[in-house]
Amino acid sequence: MTDLKEVARLAGVSRATAARTFASPEVVRPATREQVFAAARELGFRPNRLGRQLRLQTTNLIGVVVPNLLNPVFAEQFQAMEQAARLRGYNLLLATTDYDSERESVVVEELLRQRVDGLVLTVTDAESNRVLQSLASEDTPFVLAYHQPGNPDYSAVSVDNRAGMALATRYLLDAGHRRIGMVAGPALQSDRARLRYAGYCEAMAAHGQDSLPVIEMPAHTQADFAALEPYLSGPQAPSALVCSNDLLAISLIAELRRHGWSVPGQLSVIGFDGIALGTQMHPTLCTVVQPIATLASTVIEQLLAQIAGADPVSHCLPCHVRPGESTQPYEESLDDPLH
């Protein structure tokens, strides 16, 4: 059976250099790294990581739990985290929950059985979550992505969801809109959606306007015209809508246009996330931009610091409104938006 010594001899390097190439390839010169990898391929050699993991009591694996990958914000986050983790010698294991709190418990347990060194979690509700309470009591390192937990023992990286949606609402108010509604998923199950609704309400109140009850969609990222239609007529019909996430906003625009509504001619629509897809559609999506790549790298840095023994800390990152063609000033949209 081929061993590391034979690989080193064929590559023309020391055994120590060959071992370092497999353990920490980023610290080896590219030319040397390629020599070692080429020799390994020629000899059919793959290092056995199990022995090293048993000696060091580490797997260099990070478990990542997100609601789904249908929402591009989580796909963009995962890709940026994978790049950041790889630079530090770690690999990621991914699991999805589809916003199901029971499944959160199952997938976290499955990842712990894989002996991950730590976890990155986006859960349905970080404020009352049995999984997080269990992890904290077991001293399992974890970092929450996109959450703003009240518990100081939880490490989290997010934007200020409340302030971000207030920013979006003020953007529409400054554009002359007064009847503004908010569209979100079922029963505001997501703690992020609840904070964003609070931000919408605060901005409306500060401007002397009445906030409206949430226009509830059957899914977090999928709009349904039948659920929206009752709100589109009468004297209180909105001239603009803020959405709890970008994919919901994109779906909403498609539903409106499919049923003969002009966006932004009759309704302005603004999202929340800043996913790249929003810049590639027509009309381009106006949205609150979360710095997804910065959030992802900060999450990895904070998790690795905890794995090394640091205390949990939280980071709140800045966000901003990215203008787009899906909104326009109210005075320019008076082709009688009220049916």
Q: What is the pLDDT along the chain (339 residues), one digit of tens a residue?
A: 577 888 899 899 988 898 888 777 778 888 998 898 888 888 877 776 544 454 445 789 999 999 999 899 999 999 999 999 999 999 999 999 988 888 999 999 999 988 899 999 999 888 878 889 888 888 789 999 999 988 888 999 999 999 999 999 999 999 999 999 999 998 767 788 899 999 999 999 999 999 999 999 998 899 999 999 999 998 889 999 999 999 999 999 999 999 999 999 999 999 999 999 999 999 999 999 999 999 999 999 999 999 999 999 999 999 999 999 999 999 754 444 443
Q: Which two tokens stand for residue 108?
A: 């976290």
- Inter-residue contact 17 to 32 (CB < 8 Å): yes
The whole-model pTM stands at 0.79
In this structure, are residues 155 and 144 in contact, taking their beta carbons and an 8 Å threshold?
yes
The 10s digit of each residue's pLDDT in 122-141 is 998 888 788 898 888 887 89
- Beta strands 320-322 and 286-289 are antiparallel
Closest CA to 219 of 196, 195, 252, 262: 252
Is the backbone peptide bond immediately before 25 cis, with ω within 30 degrees of 0? no
Please write the tens of the pLDDT for every residue from 71-83.
999 999 999 999 9
**Domains of the chain and any CATH numbers:** 4-47 (1.10.260.40), 58-158+303-316 (3.40.50.2300), 161-290+322-332 (3.40.50.2300)
d(CA 100, CA 179): 33
List, in order, residues 6 or more apart from 105 with CB less than 8 Å away.
130, 131
DSSP 280-314: SSSSPPEEEEP-HHHHHHHHHHHHHHHHTTPPP-E
First to last CA, the chain: 78
3-state secondary structure string across 159-221? ECHHHHHHHHHHHHHHCCCCCEEEEECHHHCCHHHHHHHHHHHHHHHHCCCCCCCCEECCCCC
Distance CA 182, CA 54 (A): 52
